[in-house]
A and B are shown apart, each in its own frame.
Chain A
Amino acid sequence: MRTPSRSMPLRQRPLLRIVLASLWFGLLSLPLMMELQAPYFGLGRPLMVSVVVGLVGLLWWLASQWSERLRHVVARVVDTGGSHVRQLAEGPGRRLLYALALACAVLIPLGLNRYYIDVLTQVGMYVTLALGLNIVVGLAGLLDLGYIAFYAVGAYTYGLLSTRIGLSFWEVLPLGALLAAIFGVLLGIPVLRLRGDYLAIVTLGFGEMIRITLNNWDSLTRGPNGIIGIARPKIWGFTFSNPIHYYYLIVAIVLLTIFVVDRLNRSRIGRAWTAMRDDEVAAEVMGIDLMKTKLLAFGLGATWAGLAGVFFAGKMTFISPESFTFFESVIILCMVVLGGMGSVPGVILGAALLVILPEMMRQFALYRMLIFGGAMVMMMVLRPQGLIASPRRAIALRREDQARSAVVKPASERLGLPSRGERKRGTP
């Protein structure tokens, strides 16, 4: 290791940088953290910040000294982990794997108490929400910050129809999903022409408008008091009451979501979404109707939020606008981003982590959101593609036999032009 000489610029003197950075953050935190009335003006707290920043910087630096490639190693471990998951999920043994996962999902809760079952049910709800948002953000590349509004639409649809007209859960479930989809399309129409970041702000605005309306339209929604006494789901005389009943219901909903989202992703529509995300102009020139494709993404994304909303209302039997804040939209977005945009297993992992980790960190409840915000920045800076980067579709696996089966005649023959044998290769 070289000893930095006095004339070296700042950026090449890492220890000095660390010291300066720690002092800087101590200084920045000083004004808001000190207490004039406390002994020593409460300078201990900013000092702590300084020390923590310094230690983190030092650790970071030591790690990078110990192995310059540590970061790459970590990245590779995560990558191979991700690709193993991917291969397992797509390899020949995938049916077995799915069956195993399903068996786990069905059997594990039997040995858990109500609290854990409740947490798992939450995971399920957020998986549904995140997979829905994944269609809009991950696949179609449209940043939607008002996604929670569609969740609210689903929840209030059931809340109102149940308490006012007495419709049953099962009748409202498809209705709520449909209504959310319609809202998705309606809100999508005016924003079709907007670019990424404008779209984000406008969807945020829509989300807030819906929440404010729910809060103030007393005659319909009872405002901030919310709707109480929503009927629990019933089926053939059996009423859902135990957490485990809801758990199995959400497992079913999640399975449906995964199935549909996966099939959409692997279809002509999924290809169009990805193409649009990569390059809108090129996609349109390739014959993709941007308007239709975007609206499909908005509508099909909102559907799942509506479904989850109906479930939420049926489970809680009480809803109020408080549950549908901008912050919820951000959390769901984080699940998508953390797990890996566009990747179904990634999004499931992201949702599970972001529900379970905060539950485990209850003793740090105060610092939870602080860590959360910091983690979002770190994630973007260090690993923007998420934990399990989006796999491209596995056409390759099935491609061989299809190519041989040659269902259709090649284009050249259809056009009545020279056949394959006569044609020369384009390049040597």
Chain B
Amino acid sequence: MALLETRKLSMDFGGLRAIDTIDVTIEAHEIVSLIGPNGAGKTTVFNCVTGIFAPTSGEIRYRGESLVGLRPNQVTARGVARTFQNIRLFREMTVLENVMVGSHCRMKAGVAGAVFRPGAVIKEEEEAVARALDLLRFVALEEKADLWARQLPYGDQRRLEIARAMASDPTLLLLDEPAAGMNPQETNALMELIRLIRDRGITVLLIEHHMKVVMGISDRLIVLDHGVKIAEGKPEAIREDPTVIGAYLGQESIGA
């Protein structure tokens, strides 16, 4: 069974069809890239999968269970986490706390637990701190754990978003343009990081414009244009695909 599959997924915004009957299948332990020109509907797919938008029609199945109609937090609880294209960190919280918020849905302490702070709750908090630190170490932000999130440079903020998403123990991680705004060095490190994430057993679906990243790490590519899936396959095949080249020719060059 596929980890995630969409069937005839469509989303309208006031008469405008943002994505049109899209079928996507993601197998476990893959790295799949969703590419396409600006406005192709890539982020809309993410928003539908994570419950931010309710799709107009179509089906989204995650491990065979429908995600349609679930709230974003319920989707996260089922093991799908994501980052945002326009970074959305909690600016008034520290780096460490940002990651700890990510593990919110894996923790249990309620009001009584917070007030009386029994042993179990203390242990849970300690575990959350330890796990958050481990994730920060994983994305090389450990030294910055006590800074404010808003103090971080751009590339660090992107990696913090990844750590925060991973704190919810996802099986499927959706990354929305993780390399945007990164310098070449940071980009290389990011590619390495994404491979390591996959090695942790997490399936990665990413939206990316940076072709070096896309071609370098993806097992498979899915190409959208004007809300329609126009191609799917191995990176080498997609590179040669005339439809894809045609879609991009109207836009910027593919090697950007």
Contact = CB atoms under 8 A, between A and B. Distances in A.
A–B direct touch, CB within 8 Å, in complex?
yes
B134 A284 contact: no
B189 interface: yes
Contact of A402 (B111, B113, B126, B148): B126
B101 A286 contact: yes
Interface residues of B, number: 70
Contact-residue size bin, chain A (C-beta under 8 Å from the other chain):
35 or more
Given A263-B117, A289-B73, A403-B130, A268 B107 contact: yes
A402 B81 CA distance: 27
Interface string A251-268: 000000000100110111
B90 A412 contact: no
Interface stretch (B59-67, B195-203, B209-217, B221-229): B195-203
A277 B92 contact: yes
Nearest to A290: B73
Contacts of B145: 396, 399
B58 interface: no
Given A411-B135, A412-B138, A278 B93 contact: yes
B161 to A, nearest CB: 9
- The secondary-structure label for the interface of chain B is helix
A19 B80 CA distance: 63
A168 to B, nearest CB: 25
B130 A406 contact: yes
Nearest to A267: B114
Given A411-B131, A426-B189, A289 B140 contact: no
A420 B133 CA distance: 13
B206 to A, nearest CB: 15
Contacts of B165: 286
A428 interface: yes
Interface string A277-317: 11101111111111000001000100000000000000000
B84 A282 contact: yes
A274 B93 contact: yes
Given A279-B90, A287-B105, A395 B199 contact: no
Of B96, B102, B189, B200, chain A has the most CB atoms within 10 Å of the CB of B200
B28 interface: no
A418 B198 CA distance: 11
Contacts of A334: none
Interface string B145-179: 11010000001000100001110110000000000
Contacts of A410: 130-131, 134
Interface string B69-89: 001110011000110100011
Contacts of A406: 130
A52 to B, nearest CB: 38
A406 B132 CA distance: 12
Given A278-B90, A395-B96, A271 B104 contact: yes
B102 A426 contact: no
B193 interface: yes
Contact of B196 (A270, A272, A283, A424): A424
A337 to B, nearest CB: 16
A286 to B, nearest CB: 5
Nearest to A416: B201
Contacts of B199: 417-418
A13 interface: no
A281 B71 contact: no
A393 interface: yes
Contacts of A417: 199-201
A274 B89 CA distance: 12
A269 B109 contact: yes
B208 interface: no
Contacts of B133: 399, 403
Contacts of A427: 139-140, 155, 159, 185-186, 189, 193
The 8 residue pairs across chains A and B that have the minimum distance between CB atoms:
A287-B105, A267-B114, A287-B76, A427-B189, A282-B88, A410-B134, A426-B193, A278-B90
Interface of A: 260, 263-264, 266-272, 274-275, 277-279, 281-290, 296, 300, 390, 392-393, 395-396, 399, 402-403, 405-408, 410-412, 415-418, 420, 423-428
Interface of B: 50, 52, 71-73, 76-77, 81-82, 84, 88-94, 96-97, 100-102, 104-107, 109-111, 113-115, 117, 121, 123-131, 133-135, 137-140, 145-146, 148, 155, 159, 164-166, 168-169, 185-186, 189-190, 192-193, 196, 199-201
Given A281-B52, A285-B76, A286-B76, 4 more contacts: A263-B117, A267-B117, A286-B101, A395-B129
